[in-house]
Each structure stands twice: as C-alpha cells, then as structure tokens.
Amino acid sequence: MKRLLVTGSSGLIGSEVCMHFAQLGWRIYGVDNNQRAVFFGPNGDNRRNQKRLQSTIRDFFHVELDIRDRDDLIKLVASVRPDAIVHTAAQPSHDRAASIPFEDFDTNAVGTVNLLEAARRYRTDIPFVHLSTNKVYGDAPNEIAMTELDTRWEYADKTYVHGIPETFRIDQSKHSLFGASKVAADIYVQEYGRYFNMPTVCLRGGCLTGPHHSGVELHGFLSYLVKCNFQEREYTVFGYKGKQVRDNIHSYDVARFIEDFIDAPRIGEVYNIGGGKENSCSILEAFGMISSVSGKEMIYTYNENSRIGDHICYYSDLRKMKSHYPGWDITKTLQTTFQEIYETQMARQERTILQVP
C-alpha cells in the first residue's frame, strides 16, 4: 500500500487530499497541530476536520506535530517512508502575518525548508507538492490596465485575457509579510527540485475553497462570505467598491490535480492553480450568487480602505497546467461550489440543534 504524508491535513486542501487519496487506496499520514486555531481563534479551529478524517478513513494516522520542529519532522519522514508528500501547512493570512512576523516566517518559510530537507535525506525521487499562493506576485497585478464594469474590474490589457501566467514577475512589488514568507518557501521548493533533481511543484493558488473550509474574515473568502450570509451577519467590504475579482477553485479539483502530478511528476515545476476566468467573481457578484442560493440578501458595510497588497483583479491562466496535464480540468463550477458550502452550513446548524438538550 502506498503511503502519503500530508501536512496541514486538517485544513481545507489537506483534508480534501487525505480523503481523495484514501479513496485511491493510499495509507494516509496527516500532520497537523491545529495551529490555525492559534492564528485565528476558535472560528479557525480545524479539529472537526481531523475527527472527520479519523472516523471515515480506515488507514489514516494523525500526527500531532509542528512543522517548525525540525528534528521531529526529519524523524517522522524517515519512519513513515512516504511515496509522496503534500505540503499544505501554513500561516495563510496576509493580514495576520503583520502582527506575528516571526510565527509567519517560521511556519511558512522555515517549516517548508524543514520538510524539504527531511524529504531529501529520505529519498530524492518522491513527488513533493507544495501549496504556494498567488501572493508571491505581490500587488504587481494591480499595475495591469483595467476597465471598471458595473460589478467588477476586468483586465483591459489583452495580454492577460486568460489570466495571470507563471511568468509574471514576483519582484519589486508589495507582497505583505505573508506573501514574502511564501515567496521564500516557493523559491526553496523550486531550488530543491532543480538543485537536487527532485520532483517538486509549487501550486500558486488563487482562492481555494470548498465546504470543509473554516473561513474567517482574515482568510477564506467564499467560506466566510457564505457563513455571514447564512448567519445573517454583517460582511465588511474593503476597498475597490467591492468590484475586486478572484478566481475560485474547489478543493476537490485541487486534489485531482495533485493526483495527476504525483502520477506523472516533473522537476522544479510551478503552476498557477485557480478557477480561471470562468470561475471568477467579484465580491458584489458573490453577494448575488449566494443570495440566489439562500434567498437572503447580503448584509454588508463598506470600508473604503483596501487591504495592503490586495489584488484588484486576479484570475489564473490555466493553459500551462492543462498543456502539461491534458486530462485535468475544472469539474466543480462556481455555482456548485456556492451550493455545497451553503448546504454544509445548514447541515452543521442542524447537527448543533440536535445536540442541544
């Protein structure tokens, strides 16, 4: 039986990867110490996902380990002897990073190097998948000429009609401290691939989403927005008239691509992974989409101050991914994703009601 080591296994992508590969017959070793609850408080707690994995996957082994613990991580990889590693553990918020710079860098940059070196000391031929971020490009995408439409900003430069490609520059822009720590990790993953001839890949994600996301205001755009609508709570729009655009990809489609890469790995590769233009929406458009699902109008307030380093418009150019892996494509539409997230919110409320004496 093949063995998969997944860091951040209780998070959105980590848990989806665990479930996906378990269904393919892999034995899963999930590394997670619920640091998300430390970063974001009780609303960011991921223990629910951990319990779900433990109760539904027969060959799942939870490891309570912090990826900053270098020696223990090296020992773990040597003892597990994985056939592939998927690294999703991170401090994921560019807003939160400014108040915890040491924790952010030690988790995102140092933790990644720890895992890379643990992998190299074990074997240099196993696939290593790293969940990076589109924040490695900083705010440079905001320099692209744009057109303001009724509900969104759109690229006016036809060079980017398909979205942002992997060749887009990463220097001389404002990344946020989170983006900077992820740049360091991203470059290290590429370098271990090229220098040591290891099959590594950086997946520079847009908005990764799905029903098992513990969305909070500082991270988890769609999940948090749907939660606010469901609970009839006020949502705050920060700047750009609510017309800022993001592409959204369901965690299931991310897991499917990771499967394809592990089946046919490449050396030191980089892909922008997101929903692409077809699965992009502005905040205002997202309000309309969730209202069409829930029947509830969105309650929101507007703060004219945009978030530092925030993108005005960003969606991923998927052509490189699809050319290298032509069997992969988006299967979960944006409308389906909204529906799944909302239905999960409803199911959680029903379970909570049934548990009340």
pLDDT (tens place) for every residue of the chain, 357 residues total: 999 999 999 999 999 999 999 999 999 999 999 988 888 888 778 899 999 999 999 999 999 999 999 999 999 999 999 999 999 999 988 788 999 999 999 999 999 999 999 999 999 999 999 999 999 999 999 999 999 999 999 999 999 999 999 999 999 999 999 999 999 999 999 999 999 999 999 999 989 999 887 777 766 678 899 999 999 999 999 999 999 999 999 999 999 999 999 999 999 999 999 999 999 999 999 999 999 999 999 999 999 999 888 899 999 999 999 999 999 999 999 999 999 999 988 887 766 554 545
Q: What is the CATH number of the domain that holds 261?
A: 3.40.50.720
Q: How far apart are CA 131 and CA 317, in angstroms?
A: 17
**CA angle centred on 8, ends 67 and 281, rounded to 5°:** 130
N- to C-terminal Cα separation, the chain? 44
Per the structure, the count of domains in the chain is 1
Residue 295 belongs to domain spanning: 3-355
Q: Side by side, which strands form the sheet with 60-63?
A: 60-63, 27-31, 3-7, 84-87, 128-133, 200-205, 269-273
Q: How far apart are CA 206 and CA 294, in angstroms?
A: 25
Task: Identify any residues that bridge with 272 across adjacent strands, giving them in sequence order.
Answer: 204
Size of the chain, expressed as the number of residues it contains: 357
> What token pair was written down for 261?
């890469």
Q: How far apart are CA 209 and CA 222, in angstroms?
A: 7
> What token pair was written down for 125?
């031929």
Cα-Cα-Cα-Cα dihedral sign, residues 252, 90, 131, 224: positive
Say which residue the tokens 């592990």 belong to: 262
